[in-house]
Structures are given as structure tokens and as C-alpha cells.
Chain A
Amino acid sequence: MFYRPETEAPLNALAEFLLREDNSLTRGERELIGTYVSYLNDCFFCQNVHGAVAGHYLNCSIDDIDAIKADFTTADISPKMKALLTIAGSVQKGGKNVTIEQVDAARSEGATDKEIHDTVLIAASFCMFNRYVDGLGTWAPQDRSFYVNRAPQRAVEGYVGSISK
């Protein structure tokens, strides 16, 4: 992949803040939003990197993450997370697909303005990252254990300086 450090810096800073900075949504919950959107966008690399990291934080296997991606409505996650994933799914289709009803449903499950904002921006930014990675035909290791094995290290190191690795 063509490497451009000047653009990588703000991209990494965005990922680092959105997915790892102190937040009322846990790191696992935020990685799950990114994973889900990447799954909807059929981006193999992103859904496996972030799915493995989500599994690491949520203490569940990659198979559990696959099950959540396929149908989060029946997953063992909070009603608030289900409402936020619904919003994320709408963002993936297009911003105008997010409805007032979906936002109200998230609020009624306790989601704050900041959590709704961050859910939309995480979903939107993964619509960028997925297109960037796939649009340039980035090579991705096909063996999923690669991502699972690297997840603990990624959870420690974060995303600063990570895109080119």
C-alpha cells in the first residue's frame, strides 16, 4: 500500500481517540461497532483486526464475534449496545438512514449525546477506513489466527503509527 505519513498521522489520531480514549463506552464496545460496520462493508482486513481486538477486550472468541456480527439482536450484549449497533448499521448504508426513532430508542436505553455522536463517527470513520484499505487493494493475511494472535499487542500499543504495519 502506498504510504503517506502526512495523512497517516490524523487517521491514526482519529482511530486512537475514538477507539481507545477514556469514554463511557468501553473499548470493547467501540471496537465492536467498528467490527460490525466493517463486516457490513465486507472488509476482510478491518473486520478481522478489530473483531480480534473486540474479542480480546470482551473476553470472547472470534466465533462469538462472528455470531454477534451476523445477528446482534440475539447476542448477549446490553440493550443500549443493540440500539447503538442499529444506528451504526444505518450509518453504514448512509447518514440519512439514521432515524429519530433509532436515536430515541438508544436514548431510552441510556445512551448519552456523546455516545450517540461517537457511535455515528466510529461507524462513519470505518466506512472511510474500509474503503481506503480495499480501494487500494491492500494485501490482508487470510489466516484469521494472525489477527487473534496480534490482538493483545494491538490492545496495548493502540493505533498511533499502526496503519502501515
Chain B
Amino acid sequence: MQDAIVATDRKRTAMREFTPWLIALGGFSFLPFILGPYWLNSAITGLFYVMMASSWNLLAGFTGQVSFAHAAFAGIGCYTTGILSAKLGLHPLVGLPIGVALSALLSLGLGALCIRMGGIYLSLTTLGFSEIVRIIIQNEYEITRGTMGLKVPFIIGPYSKTTAFYIMLVVAAAMVWTVYRIINSDMGLRFRAVLNDETAAQALGVPVMRVRVTAFVISGAMAGLAGSLYGHYLLLITPHIPSLDMMFHVLAMAVIGGLGTLAGPIVGAFLLEVLSEFVRQFSDKYHVLVFACVALVFARFAPQGVVGLVASWWRQATGKEGAQ
């Protein structure tokens, strides 16, 4: 009897926890009927950034490792599947898993190489790696067509923004769900143990290095998937995807939304995507500068991000402690 009550209770809290997410997802799935092609494109780009920022947040927000190679892994994913489908005529759905696998493999190598040396080495090496990937892609003109960009086929069937939107929506939702499952599992507990106190975690028997490398590989694979899908949507992949500029966008979205929260990167991604559209109407020159200033203000004065600010404001307004 007691057990049954606890179970229903748990189910009820779970329901309450998921309701806003399901409503948001439901709302999103109606977007193609409301938005014109221009804003639908923005929504798709926003979904790409949701994937990128969420997976980067898994690494930075939940294990405290700042990687600058996230855009590079997206680039590796999209160029792998892009080259396979454009040059060898493979179906994108066949190329996609290969791209993801290659991203995961390279992130395993990079992670195993530098994570044992500590956080600073990871950031330095990933920054270097990111630049190297971009340089190789730009220089290997015969294969990647350099800055001209490589034409790639659409993901599946004839080109349609609506199809692309739903594919991206499903994958993004699945990715956020995966991140949620990970951070609420034993592995997530280990992630946070490593984040809070590495020495204590090690003393309690958490294999710190393995946990860090695992997080790095998962996040790298997710970036690869996001990049490959986005590349097949854009139909033209350029070295902008593996650039530090892209990396900065992802970082800014996660920081502005709120590191270490599930909703943060999602809110940040859409907020910045919409903001970028408005700034672009004003002038194309300043939008990165504006983003960077906003991100700097958040990182310096409100490291908890928009989600954290809203949550604490909500707590104060309702006078409740411990509400999400």
C-alpha cells in the first residue's frame, strides 16, 4: 500500500516535471504551419544550436570541462557524411552514422590524450585541434572544396524545410531526453561528483579519468550528429561549421541560457537565434559583437544564466524553496 502511494506520488511529480516540456514540444511541432520559410529556417538553425549547446552543456555544465572542439566535431561529422554522399554517392542515412562514429572516435583519442593532464590542457588542446580541423578542411581543396563549400544531398527524399524541421525536432528532443537520462543516472551522479570535487570523487572510488573521457566522447558524438544533420539540411557545407566562431555561438548560448541546467542551453539557443535575426536587420556587422558582450555580462555577473535568474525570481515571487 505504502509502496503504491510512493509510486503514484513519484509518477505525479514526474508528470508535473514533464508537462512544460511536453507542452513546449507540442507547441514546437506546430511551428511549420505558422512560420514562413524564412523564420522556419531560423527555427531549424535554432534546433541545431539546441543540439550543440545541450551536448556542450553535458560536458561543461555537468563535468566542468571546457572543450573548444565541439564545433570541430560537428564539422568532422558533417564533412564525413557530406564527402561520402557527395563523392561516393552514399545515402546520407548511411553516411550519418559513419560521421557520428568518426566524431566519437576522434573525441575518444583527443580526450584520452589530454584529459589525464587536467582541465587547462583540455581547453588548450581542443582549441588547437579545432583550428587544425578548420585548416585541414580549408587546405584539402580537392576533397572538401575549401571555403567554396561542398554541395551535399538532402537527408531523405525531396528537399523540404518542413521535413528537415521535423527530423531536427525529433533528434533534438531525443538528444535532450538522452542528456536528461544521463544526468539522472548513476553516470550523471559521477559526472557531478567530478565537477564538484575531483579529489573527493577520486577518493570515493569514482574513476575520474574514465568519467571525463566518457562525457567527452558522448558529447563529441552528439556534436557529430548535430553537424551531419545540419549539413544535409544546408545542402552546402563550409568551413564555418568547424570554426571558432561557431564554437563561440554554442558557448554563448549555453552560458546565457544557464550552464548545468537542462533547459538553459535550449532557452539560450532560441533566445540568441531570435536576437541574431533582429540584430541582423539592424546591421550584419555587429551581431557577433553584441552576442559576445551579452555573453560576457552573463558569464561575469549572472553565471547561473537566464534559467537560473528566472528560477530564483520565481522562487522569490512564490515564496517557495526548492521549486524547479
Are both chains from one complex? no
Q: Which residues of B contact A (CB under 8 A)?
A: none
